[in-house]
Amino acid sequence: MSKNTTRRTLSAASIGNFGELYDFAVFGFSVPFIAAHFFPGGDTTAAVLNTFAVYAVAFFARPVGGLMFGYLLDSIGRVKVLAITIWLMAGGTAIIGLLPTYESIGIAAPALLVACRFAQGLAVGGETTGSTSFVIESAPDKKRGLWVGIVYFFGNIPNAFVAFMLIGMQLLIGKEAYLEWAWRIPFLLGGLIGIVGYWVRRNLEDPEEYKQATRKDTSKTPLRALTRSGLKSILCVSMIMSLQSVASYYLLGFTYTFLVKQAGLESKMALLSNAIAIAAYAATIPIGGALSDRFGRKAVLTGGALWIALVAWLSIRLAANGTLPEAILGQVLIAIGIGFYGSATFVASAEFFPTSFRATGHAIAYQATVAIMGGTSPLVCAWLVRAFQSPLAPGWYVTVVAAVTVIAIRFIPETKDVDLRTSIEGITSNRPSEIPARTTGSHGKGHVRSGE
């Protein structure tokens, strides 16, 4: 594959992931402002909890979008569906920036907000699976972890970008003006990302791996994802994706509001500390992806999960002190672990499924797990603080999930050298030496047995 083709493939996949996380980052960082405009005044804590509930709506729409778009991704192609999802995702974000507030239209305001979040969730359900499938089927066999890591780097860096953008806007026009009207601007910019993303993707072609699989496996429908072998892969994804969902959305969707509401850190300083941590998280993903290409997905998964389990409580303990240096240190500590763990999770979750129903299976497993565990993570963390009257309670929640995951990783197969065409259907043992010899893969080359 030429350098131009490589650059184009990674750029096309990355722009969608950038847009996806941009949309979610804008909403996550805007929770205090949305709470003030879309829910009745009085009980500030209740308004924040209601806003986190709306935040979770998009996650529960993700499995619906994943199933719908996942089937289409396997049936009509990766590229056609990716063109649809980027428009739907960007449109939902831009419309939020135009919505009237509760003061203007009453209960209809949060109802329309929920509808927009649902549209975003539908789009993300297809976008995440589509871009991951597209990249993993286009990547050289020994660089799948690195390529997916690069795409997810651009998928997570928007969180830091949005944080710095909001800091700059509040410094430029003042916090009061931002609260009154300027909070809409970041949402409106989401529409521009859709235009840019469509332009980058407009002339793409489906990966050769996908074309060959659909030509040779015409009798195998995407609904095979629901057969016994497909359900085994779905279980594997749910086992490793739960921790990634809980920990990443603890960092991305909860920590900023925690620093402002519980730790008493000034909003711009909270944004700054969260942005630095998210940048560290994003930068770690391609590094972890490259390590998983060399040492295996399970080794990186285990190391990342252990790291998270060891530092989760310390992370929130430091952040709760309410000083900028401790907020940065606490968040960066857990961000590094989430980045390493996520790097292997993102690539393995797609490798668990054969090409013929990869998108359908991945969408069902990935999106359902993210919806249940990730979408509720900020809400659960906020509830735990209130229920236990302790700002440290969310740290124990993340720790327990990480500890359970360390054990669960032992029971999943290694996928580093798996043949994408057959995936774990061709593995008879978890030992890499028993992975079947590769035949002709997506790049027209012969492949050898792992370890040879």
- Residues 6 or more apart from 246 whose CB is under 8 A from it? 373, 374, 377, 397, 398, 401
Closest-CA residue to 434 (of 412, 415, 449): 449
Q: For residue range 77-128, list pLDDT tens digits in order.
A: 888 888 888 888 888 888 988 999 888 888 888 888 888 888 888 888 888 8
For 439, phi then psi, to 5°, come to -100, -135
Question: Which amino acid, one-letter code, is at 21?
Answer: L
pTM over 0.85: no
- Has residue 308 got a pLDDT over 70? yes
In this structure, of 85-94, 214-223, 351-360, the range with the lowest mean pLDDT score is 214-223
% of the chain at pLDDT higher than 90: 29
Q: Exposed/middle/buried for 99, CB within 10 Å: 0-12, 13-18, 19+?
A: buried
Angstrom CA distances, 358 to 130, 146, 192, stand at 10, 19, 30
End-to-end CA distance of the chain: 24
Going from N- to C-terminal start, the domains of the chain cover 10-213+220-434
CB distance 409 to 240 below 8 Å: yes
Per-residue exposure over 386-416, b if at least 16 CB sit within 10 Å of its own CB, e if not: eeeeebebbbebbbebbbebbebbeebbbbb
Greatest mean pLDDT among 19-23, 177-181, 236-240, 440-444 lies in 236-240
The answer to whether 36 and 271 are in contact (CB under 8 A) is no
Fold (topology level) of 10-213+220-434:
Growth Hormone; Chain: A; (1.20.1250)
**Contact assessment for residue 437 and residue 451, using Cβ atoms and an 8 Å cutoff:** no
| pLDDT recorded at residue 439 | 41
- pLDDT tens digits along 386-431: 888 888 899 999 999 999 999 999 999 999 988 888 877 766 444 4
The answer to whether the CB of 272 falls within 8 A of the CB of 165 is no
pLDDT(202) > 80? no
Instruction: Please tell me the predicted confidence (pLDDT) of residue 216.
Output: 63
